[in-house]
Amino acid sequence: MTYFKNLSDLLKVEREEDRQSYLRLTETSSVSDRRAGGLTWYPIAIRGQEMSRGDYLTVEVERTTHQDVPHQLRFGVPAALFSNHDPKTDRVEGVISHLSGNRLKITLRTDELPEWSRQGKLGIDLLFDDNSYDEMQNAVKAAGELLEKEKEGRLIRILTGQDAPAFDLQNNNTNIPALNSSQWSAVDKILAARDLAIVHGPPGTGKTTTLVQAIKKLWERDRKQILVVAPSNTAVDLLSEKLTDAGLNVLRVGNPVRVSERLMSLTLDSRMADHQMNKDIKKLKKQASEFKNMAHKYKRNFGKSERDQRKALFDEAHRIMKDVGQMEQHIIDDVVSRSQVITATLVGANHYTVRNLRYNTVVIDEAGQALEPACWIPILKAEKVILAGDHFQLPPTIKSPEAARAGLSTTLLEKCAILHTEAVTLLEEQYRMNEAIMGFSSREFYGNRLKAHASVATRTLFPGDAPLAFIDTAGCGYDEQLQGTSSVNPDEAAFLLRHLSGQVRDADHALKNKDGEFPSVAVISPYKEQVNLLRSGLANFPELTAKGDHISVNTIDSFQGQERDVVYISMVRSNSEGEIGFLSDIRRMNVAMTRARKKLVVIGDSATLGRFPFYSDFITYAEGIDAYHSAWEFADL
């Protein structure tokens, strides 16, 4: 019980830090500040409305300007419709029930739009997401209460290290032509597991492909519905598409981020719209709206007979909507029962449409990025859990440094991989990187067990080009500077862009007689201000700007899960004290160094970096394969 009490306390600390962060952003900020921070759509126009479950009103809105501004609004989060005439009082709260491009639907906790909504200057504000924290706290509490129960608590005791996982002795001998031997082993382990199996998937090793095949085998064997979840909507979308491609009947609970007709067709909304009973529901909703419209036509000053008539009209509308609710629930039950696989985010696993379902198997993908309390939401619905991910890549984002230090940043995947090594299968063959790019990461993180598939092991940007370079700026006077709360290194940024410009010319020359498209390039850095400096510096190099979308510049964190032909990393830190700040988070650097397919160029100061064992080892590795260069070698750039 202490385990879950500690977890609950850490979650409370994180919740309060997140709440305070939200309040700091919103309490005194203007609508334009909130919009710039991604918390608000303003201005918006109302495009339609309809009655929905529980006599609530669902309103469709569209943002009419600033459509390119990134935002944090997403399906399932609380939000408010407000009027900027008087935003403190003229607002009504609800939940975002659909999001597509620059349109969203918000289900408001009211049965009619307020009068002020007709006077313009409308917007949508994101509210603090208490619901997700409530779901996590409830799951942690429930897990603690079930822990001591003999049958219901067994899986919980295994995941917290009190019991050992069990495996059937059957020899599955999986032979799926699309998989390699370590992927076969992972599928075998999943099929044999009674309660827990772990797929450890380093970068480029085909974790998603392996999971899809395992899920397909589980369905074929057990014919029992499977829940597949992940911490992000993007990861859920990818799995939903791949599982559909494998021939499984997938129901996507929630609203996809990747707006495609294909994905939308997997959603509950789409399946309900196609259901044969939906025409009857539309007719009834129209009738209910007509009764309400008639009721609203009565003037405010009227006598008893008018009041009685108005009440009768409202009562009839409510009665019809109650029938609609029952019919919709029947459709939901029908659609859900026909699905072989249900996909959702971790919190989405408790969506009202599937809240009471239990599953023989729950699969948690990207578990290395999943906050542990969120994992307990789907786990409580499972007989058996499959955890998949890589705890040597970036952990979940945590707002509270105190909660992170106290253990909230340690994921359930990481704990279980250490506690139950017998449940772990490492995917050992990767299909992304040249073996020279892969080698250091393999040695440092994966026990030197990774090997590059023959199709990628020796590929380079062009014949004769080196796949890896560490360019040492020590002694060049490229000193870091503090800019706000971030570090920058203007000289290093300028050098990187000059070097990349030369690389682009070399690639153009080498590829001009080939049919291949110009390679994709990522320029990344752990520091946001350095990223801003690099982006603005691109404008000074016409040969780089001419490549347009082929070259992207961003932080390391934004590239997790992505890959490019060429990756440049600007390390930034260069000081006499040997301070490297959060470069000491070597998992972040593992992500950075494993994004490149054909060429990786790391630019940094060995005198500063080399005091830290990880970077000292990397420099030694680069020297060992003739990939070490001094920046002085490029003095004529």
Calculate ∠ Cα 31-35-36, nearest 5°. 120
Interval 71-85 mean pLDDT: 92
User: Which pLDDT value is given to residue 308?
Assistant: 76
User: Which pLDDT value is given to residue 126?
Assistant: 95
The secondary structure of residue 520, as a DSSP letter, is P
Q: What is the largest CA-CA distance in the chain?
A: 94
Asked whether residue 257 carries a pLDDT value surpassing 90, the answer given is no
* 237 and 261 Cβ atoms separated by less than 8 Å: no
* 372 and 136 Cβ atoms separated by less than 8 Å: no
Interval 418-447 mean pLDDT: 98
User: Which pLDDT value is given to residue 549?
Assistant: 86
**CA dist., res. 379 & res. 385, Å (int):** 7
Asked whether residue 276 carries a pLDDT value surpassing 80, the answer given is no
Percent of the chain with pLDDT over 90: 70
Which tokens is 631 given? 């920046």
- Say which range, 194-208, 265-279, 398-412, 521-535, has the weakest mean pLDDT: 265-279
Asked whether residue 400 carries a pLDDT value surpassing 80, the answer given is yes
Which tokens is 235 given? 């990861």
Interval 232-254 mean pLDDT: 95
Alpha helices, DSSP H, located in 275-347: 278-296, 304-338
User: Which pLDDT value is given to residue 637?
Assistant: 67
Asked whether residue 300 carries a pLDDT value surpassing 60, the answer given is no
**CA dist., res. 413 & res. 200, Å (int):** 9
CA distances from 160 to 164, 479, 549, 615 (A): 10, 47, 46, 34
* 233 and 99 Cβ atoms separated by less than 8 Å: no
User: Which pLDDT value is given to residue 46?
Assistant: 94
Distance of CA 308 to the CA centre of its chain: 53
**CA dist., res. 167 & res. 346, Å (int):** 26
**CA dist., res. 583 & res. 480, Å (int):** 14
Asked whether residue 170 carries a pLDDT value surpassing 70, the answer given is no
Asked whether residue 299 carries a pLDDT value surpassing 60, the answer given is no
Which among 118-122, 558-562, 604-608 has the top mean pLDDT?
604-608
- Say which range, 127-141, 262-276, 305-319, has the weakest mean pLDDT: 305-319
**CA dist., res. 121 & res. 433, Å (int):** 52
Which residues have CB under 8 Å from 339's CB, separation 6+?
Answer: 225, 249, 250, 251
* 555 and 569 Cβ atoms separated by less than 8 Å: no
**CA dist., res. 311 & res. 296, Å (int):** 10
Asked whether residue 301 carries a pLDDT value surpassing 60, the answer given is no
- Say which range, 31-40, 468-477, 508-517, 594-603, has the weakest mean pLDDT: 508-517
- Say which range, 26-40, 69-83, 277-291, 322-336, has the weakest mean pLDDT: 277-291
User: Which pLDDT value is given to residue 27?
Assistant: 80
Asked whether residue 526 carries a pLDDT value surpassing 80, the answer given is yes
User: Which pLDDT value is given to residue 101?
Assistant: 87
Asked whether residue 609 carries a pLDDT value surpassing 60, the answer given is yes
Phi-psi region of 572 (alpha: psi -120 to 50; beta: other; left: phi over 0): left
Asked whether residue 25 carries a pLDDT value surpassing 90, the answer given is no
Asked whether residue 84 carries a pLDDT value surpassing 70, the answer given is yes
CA distances from 248 to 215, 216, 347, 454 (A): 9, 7, 23, 31
The secondary structure of residue 127, as a DSSP letter, is P
Asked whether residue 513 carries a pLDDT value surpassing 60, the answer given is no
Q: What is the pLDDT of residues 458-512, one digit of tens each?
A: 999 999 999 999 999 999 999 999 988 889 999 999 999 999 999 998 888 777 6
**pLDDT, greater one: 170 or 506:** 506
User: Which pLDDT value is given to residue 319?
Assistant: 83
Which tokens is 337 given? 């029962």
3-class SS of residue 35: helix
Run of H or E including 571: none
Q: How confident is the model at residue 438 (pLDDT cuts 50, 70, 90)?
A: very high
Sign of the four-CA dihedral 326, 328, 330, 333 = negative
* 99 and 254 Cβ atoms separated by less than 8 Å: no
Reference 244, options 231, 224, 261; nearest CA is 261
Asked whether residue 50 carries a pLDDT value surpassing 90, the answer given is no
* 187 and 179 Cβ atoms separated by less than 8 Å: yes
The length of the chain is: 637
**CA dist., res. 471 & res. 41, Å (int):** 45
User: Which pLDDT value is given to residue 261?
Assistant: 81
What does pLDDT average to over the chain?
A: 91
User: Which pLDDT value is given to residue 39?
Assistant: 93
> What's the number of CA atoms in the CB half-sphere (13 Å) around residue 323?
16
Which residues have CB under 8 Å from 414's CB, separation 6+?
Answer: 368, 391
The secondary structure of residue 406, as a DSSP letter, is I
- Say which range, 52-56, 189-193, 463-467, 509-513, has the weakest mean pLDDT: 509-513
User: Which pLDDT value is given to residue 171?
Assistant: 61
